[in-house]
Amino acid sequence: MRRSLNITPVPGAAAAEALPRIVAFVEEMAELDDWAPDLVLRSNLILEELILNTLTHGRTSGLSDIEITLESGENSVTITLVDDGTAFDPLNDEPSPDTDLPLQERSIGGLGLHLVRTMAEDLAYKHADGKNHLTLVARAGA
Amino acid sequence: MELAQERDAGTNVISPAGRVDGSNSAEFHESLMAALSGDDNRVILDMGGIDYISSAGLRVLLLLAQHLGGNSTPFAVCSLAASVDEVFRISGFNQIITVFGTLDEAKAQLA
Protein backbone atom coordinates (compact mmCIF):
# COMPACT_ATOMS: atom_id res chain seq x y z
CA MET A 1 0.00 0.00 0.00
CA ARG A 2 1.01 3.58 -0.61
CA ARG A 3 0.02 6.49 1.59
CA SER A 4 1.08 10.08 2.13
CA LEU A 5 1.21 12.49 5.03
CA ASN A 6 1.79 16.21 4.76
CA ILE A 7 3.62 18.10 7.47
CA THR A 8 3.13 21.85 7.56
CA PRO A 9 5.67 23.75 9.64
CA VAL A 10 4.05 25.77 12.41
CA PRO A 11 5.86 29.06 13.02
CA GLY A 12 7.24 29.18 16.54
CA ALA A 13 6.48 25.53 17.27
CA ALA A 14 9.29 23.19 18.24
CA ALA A 15 10.31 20.97 15.33
CA ALA A 16 9.86 17.89 17.51
CA GLU A 17 6.13 18.61 17.76
CA ALA A 18 5.85 17.08 14.29
CA LEU A 19 7.19 13.74 15.53
CA PRO A 20 4.09 12.17 17.11
CA ARG A 21 2.16 12.52 13.84
CA ILE A 22 4.98 10.91 11.90
CA VAL A 23 5.27 8.03 14.37
CA ALA A 24 1.49 7.47 14.28
CA PHE A 25 1.53 7.52 10.45
CA VAL A 26 4.33 4.95 10.30
CA GLU A 27 2.72 2.70 12.89
CA GLU A 28 -0.65 2.77 11.17
CA MET A 29 0.92 1.81 7.87
CA ALA A 30 3.04 -0.85 9.61
CA GLU A 31 -0.01 -2.45 11.12
CA LEU A 32 -2.00 -2.43 7.88
CA ASP A 33 0.84 -4.00 5.89
CA ASP A 34 2.31 -6.13 8.69
CA TRP A 35 5.84 -4.70 8.72
CA ALA A 36 8.57 -6.41 10.72
CA PRO A 37 9.35 -4.59 14.00
CA ASP A 38 12.84 -3.56 12.89
CA LEU A 39 11.42 -2.11 9.68
CA VAL A 40 9.13 0.10 11.78
CA LEU A 41 12.07 1.26 13.92
CA ARG A 42 14.28 2.00 10.90
CA SER A 43 11.54 3.85 9.05
CA ASN A 44 10.83 5.98 12.12
CA LEU A 45 14.51 6.74 12.61
CA ILE A 46 15.07 7.71 8.97
CA LEU A 47 12.01 9.97 8.96
CA GLU A 48 12.82 11.59 12.30
CA GLU A 49 16.38 12.42 11.28
CA LEU A 50 15.44 13.79 7.85
CA ILE A 51 12.42 15.78 8.90
CA LEU A 52 13.92 17.29 12.05
CA ASN A 53 16.95 18.17 9.97
CA THR A 54 14.75 20.03 7.51
CA LEU A 55 12.73 21.73 10.24
CA THR A 56 15.62 22.76 12.48
CA HIS A 57 18.54 23.77 10.30
CA GLY A 58 17.43 27.04 8.85
CA ARG A 59 16.01 25.48 5.74
CA THR A 60 12.50 26.52 6.68
CA SER A 61 12.78 29.70 4.62
CA GLY A 62 9.93 29.38 2.15
CA LEU A 63 9.05 25.94 3.53
CA SER A 64 5.31 25.43 3.56
CA ASP A 65 4.99 21.68 3.16
CA ILE A 66 6.83 18.41 3.60
CA GLU A 67 5.13 15.50 1.91
CA ILE A 68 6.02 12.05 3.20
CA THR A 69 5.01 9.07 1.06
CA LEU A 70 5.48 5.49 2.19
CA GLU A 71 5.08 2.50 -0.07
CA SER A 72 5.30 -1.00 1.34
CA GLY A 73 7.44 -3.51 -0.55
CA GLU A 74 8.74 -7.00 0.12
CA ASN A 75 10.25 -6.63 3.62
CA SER A 76 10.98 -3.03 2.76
CA VAL A 77 9.43 0.38 2.48
CA THR A 78 10.15 3.06 -0.09
CA ILE A 79 10.16 6.50 1.48
CA THR A 80 9.71 9.62 -0.63
CA LEU A 81 10.09 13.10 0.83
CA VAL A 82 9.25 16.24 -1.11
CA ASP A 83 9.59 19.69 0.42
CA ASP A 84 9.56 23.24 -0.88
CA GLY A 85 12.21 24.60 1.49
CA THR A 86 15.73 25.76 0.67
CA ALA A 87 17.59 23.42 -1.69
CA PHE A 88 19.54 20.88 0.35
CA ASP A 89 20.97 17.53 -0.69
CA PRO A 90 21.07 15.39 2.47
CA LEU A 91 23.28 12.87 0.68
CA ASN A 92 26.11 15.27 -0.16
CA ASP A 93 25.67 18.73 1.34
CA GLU A 94 26.76 17.76 4.83
CA PRO A 95 29.96 15.77 5.44
CA SER A 96 29.81 12.61 7.52
CA PRO A 97 31.17 13.04 11.04
CA ASP A 98 34.46 11.43 12.05
CA THR A 99 33.15 8.47 14.04
CA ASP A 100 36.68 7.52 15.13
CA LEU A 101 37.35 10.59 17.29
CA PRO A 102 37.93 10.03 21.03
CA LEU A 103 35.12 10.71 23.49
CA GLN A 104 35.97 14.25 24.56
CA GLU A 105 36.43 15.40 20.94
CA ARG A 106 33.18 13.95 19.61
CA SER A 107 30.27 16.18 18.72
CA ILE A 108 26.87 15.15 17.51
CA GLY A 109 26.75 17.29 14.35
CA GLY A 110 25.96 15.37 11.20
CA LEU A 111 25.26 12.12 12.99
CA GLY A 112 21.56 12.04 12.11
CA LEU A 113 22.16 12.21 8.36
CA HIS A 114 25.06 9.77 8.72
CA LEU A 115 22.63 7.28 10.30
CA VAL A 116 20.20 7.77 7.41
CA ARG A 117 22.88 7.39 4.72
CA THR A 118 24.21 4.23 6.34
CA MET A 119 20.90 2.61 7.21
CA ALA A 120 18.90 3.32 4.06
CA GLU A 121 19.42 1.91 0.58
CA ASP A 122 18.93 3.21 -2.97
CA LEU A 123 19.14 6.84 -1.91
CA ALA A 124 18.46 9.42 -4.59
CA TYR A 125 18.11 13.20 -4.40
CA LYS A 126 17.15 15.79 -6.96
CA HIS A 127 16.07 19.41 -6.85
CA ALA A 128 13.31 19.94 -9.38
CA ASP A 129 10.36 22.31 -9.77
CA GLY A 130 11.74 24.34 -6.87
CA LYS A 131 11.46 21.37 -4.53
CA ASN A 132 13.71 18.89 -2.78
CA HIS A 133 12.91 15.31 -3.79
CA LEU A 134 14.47 12.48 -1.81
CA THR A 135 13.73 8.79 -2.17
CA LEU A 136 15.25 5.95 -0.20
CA VAL A 137 14.46 2.42 0.87
CA ALA A 138 14.37 1.03 4.39
CA ARG A 139 14.76 -2.72 4.58
CA ALA A 140 14.00 -5.22 7.34
CA GLY A 141 16.76 -7.46 8.68
CA ALA A 142 20.49 -6.92 8.73
CA MET B 1 9.99 8.07 29.45
CA GLU B 2 10.38 6.21 32.75
CA LEU B 3 13.63 5.97 34.61
CA ALA B 4 14.40 3.55 37.43
CA GLN B 5 17.47 3.79 39.56
CA GLU B 6 19.30 1.57 42.01
CA ARG B 7 22.42 2.31 44.03
CA ASP B 8 24.55 -0.44 45.47
CA ALA B 9 27.89 0.25 47.14
CA GLY B 10 28.78 3.21 44.94
CA THR B 11 27.48 1.63 41.73
CA ASN B 12 24.70 3.72 40.25
CA VAL B 13 22.52 1.69 37.89
CA ILE B 14 20.10 3.81 35.84
CA SER B 15 17.44 2.03 33.80
CA PRO B 16 15.41 4.19 31.41
CA ALA B 17 12.50 2.70 29.48
CA GLY B 18 10.67 3.77 26.35
CA ARG B 19 11.65 5.69 23.22
CA VAL B 20 14.28 8.41 23.11
CA ASP B 21 13.61 10.80 20.25
CA GLY B 22 13.70 14.49 19.47
CA SER B 23 10.51 15.10 21.41
CA ASN B 24 11.76 13.84 24.79
CA SER B 25 15.55 13.99 24.61
CA ALA B 26 15.71 17.16 26.73
CA GLU B 27 13.65 15.45 29.43
CA PHE B 28 15.89 12.35 29.11
CA HIS B 29 18.98 14.53 29.63
CA GLU B 30 17.47 16.23 32.67
CA SER B 31 16.43 12.92 34.27
CA LEU B 32 19.84 11.36 33.70
CA MET B 33 21.73 14.31 35.16
CA ALA B 34 19.37 14.33 38.17
CA ALA B 35 20.08 10.63 38.71
CA LEU B 36 23.82 11.25 39.14
CA SER B 37 25.50 11.88 42.46
CA GLY B 38 28.99 13.09 43.33
CA ASP B 39 29.33 9.94 45.44
CA ASP B 40 28.97 7.57 42.49
CA ASN B 41 32.06 5.40 42.04
CA ARG B 42 30.74 4.17 38.72
CA VAL B 43 27.64 4.55 36.58
CA ILE B 44 25.91 1.88 34.50
CA LEU B 45 23.11 2.79 32.10
CA ASP B 46 20.94 -0.28 31.53
CA MET B 47 19.40 0.34 28.09
CA GLY B 48 17.40 -2.90 28.03
CA GLY B 49 14.12 -0.99 28.16
CA ILE B 50 14.95 1.28 25.20
CA ASP B 51 14.07 0.05 21.73
CA TYR B 52 14.40 3.32 19.84
CA ILE B 53 17.05 6.00 19.99
CA SER B 54 17.68 8.70 17.40
CA SER B 55 20.59 11.13 17.10
CA ALA B 56 18.79 13.40 19.60
CA GLY B 57 19.11 10.63 22.19
CA LEU B 58 22.70 9.85 21.16
CA ARG B 59 23.55 13.48 21.86
CA VAL B 60 22.34 13.02 25.45
CA LEU B 61 24.43 9.86 25.89
CA LEU B 62 27.45 11.69 24.50
CA LEU B 63 26.96 14.56 26.96
CA LEU B 64 26.57 12.09 29.83
CA ALA B 65 29.67 10.11 28.82
CA GLN B 66 31.70 13.32 28.42
CA HIS B 67 30.50 14.60 31.80
CA LEU B 68 31.43 11.36 33.57
CA GLY B 69 34.66 11.07 31.61
CA GLY B 70 35.57 14.57 32.78
CA ASN B 71 35.13 13.36 36.39
CA SER B 72 37.00 10.12 35.65
CA THR B 73 33.91 8.20 36.77
CA PRO B 74 33.79 4.77 35.04
CA PHE B 75 30.72 4.61 32.81
CA ALA B 76 29.19 1.86 30.71
CA VAL B 77 25.94 0.97 29.00
CA CYS B 78 24.51 -2.53 28.81
CA SER B 79 21.74 -4.70 27.38
CA LEU B 80 21.35 -2.87 24.07
CA ALA B 81 18.41 -3.98 21.93
CA ALA B 82 19.46 -4.99 18.40
CA SER B 83 18.04 -1.75 16.98
CA VAL B 84 19.96 0.38 19.49
CA ASP B 85 23.13 -1.65 18.97
CA GLU B 86 22.89 -0.94 15.23
CA VAL B 87 22.67 2.80 15.89
CA PHE B 88 25.64 2.57 18.29
CA ARG B 89 27.78 0.79 15.69
CA ILE B 90 26.93 3.13 12.82
CA SER B 91 27.67 6.20 14.92
CA GLY B 92 30.88 4.75 16.37
CA PHE B 93 29.50 5.11 19.90
CA ASN B 94 30.65 1.57 20.70
CA GLN B 95 34.21 2.94 20.37
CA ILE B 96 33.74 5.79 22.86
CA ILE B 97 31.30 4.24 25.33
CA THR B 98 31.95 0.88 27.02
CA VAL B 99 29.18 -1.59 26.12
CA PHE B 100 28.41 -4.79 28.01
CA GLY B 101 25.99 -7.50 26.94
CA THR B 102 24.22 -7.75 30.28
CA LEU B 103 23.88 -5.82 33.51
CA ASP B 104 25.62 -8.65 35.41
CA GLU B 105 28.62 -8.41 33.10
CA ALA B 106 28.73 -4.65 33.52
CA LYS B 107 28.59 -4.93 37.32
CA ALA B 108 31.33 -7.58 37.34
CA GLN B 109 33.69 -5.95 34.87
CA LEU B 110 33.30 -2.16 34.84
CA ALA B 111 36.21 -0.60 36.70
| pLDDT at position A9 | 87
Q: Where are the domains of chain A?
A: 2-139
Q: What's the average model confidence in pLDDT over A54-66?
A: 82
Distance, CA of B42 to CA of A140 (rounded, Å) = 37
Structure confidence by residue, pLDDT tens digits, A3-19:
999 999 887 788 888 99
Q: What is the CATH number of domain A2-139?
A: 3.30.565.10
A111 to B21: CB separation less than 8 angstroms, yes or no: no
Q: Is A63 helix (H, G, I), strand (E, B) or coil?
A: coil
Give the residue on A whose Cα is nearest the Cα of B55. A112
B23 to A99: CB separation less than 8 angstroms, yes or no: no
Considering only A65-74, A101-110, B71-80, B96-105, which range has the smallest mean pLDDT? Answer: A101-110
Structure confidence by residue, pLDDT tens digits, B9-29:
999 999 999 999 999 999 999
A38 to B82: CB separation less than 8 angstroms, yes or no: yes
Is the pLDDT reported for residue A142 higher than 60? no
| pLDDT at position A58 | 61
Task: Tell me which of B54, B61, B98 to substitute to probe the interface with A (most A C-beta atoms closer than 10 Å).
Answer: B54
B22 to A45: CB separation less than 8 angstroms, yes or no: no
Label residue A109 by pLDDT band (50, 70, 90). confident
Q: Is B26 helix (H, G, I), strand (E, B) or coil?
A: helix
**Neighboring chain A residues of B23 at a CB cutoff of 8 Å:** 16-17, 19-20
Distance, CA of B47 to CA of B17 (rounded, Å) = 7
**Neighboring chain A residues of B87 at a CB cutoff of 8 Å:** 45, 115
Distance, CA of B18 to CA of A19 (rounded, Å) = 15
Domains observed in chain B: 2-105 (3.30.750.24)
Q: How far, in whole angstroms, is CA A142 from its chain's centroid?
A: 20
Contact call for residues A46 and A119 (beta carbons, < 8 A): yes
Predicted structure pTM score:
0.94
**Neighboring chain B residues of A46 at a CB cutoff of 8 Å:** none
| pLDDT at position B1 | 79
Q: What's the average model confidence in pLDDT over A132-142?
A: 92
The string over B38-77, giving b where at least 16 C-beta atoms fall within 10 Å of a residue's C-beta and e elsewhere, is eebebbbbbbbebbbbbbbbbbbbbebbbebbeeeebbbb
Count of helix runs (H) and strand runs (E) in chain A: 3, 5
Considering only A13-22, A57-66, B40-49, which range has the smallest mean pLDDT? Answer: A57-66
| pLDDT at position A11 | 77
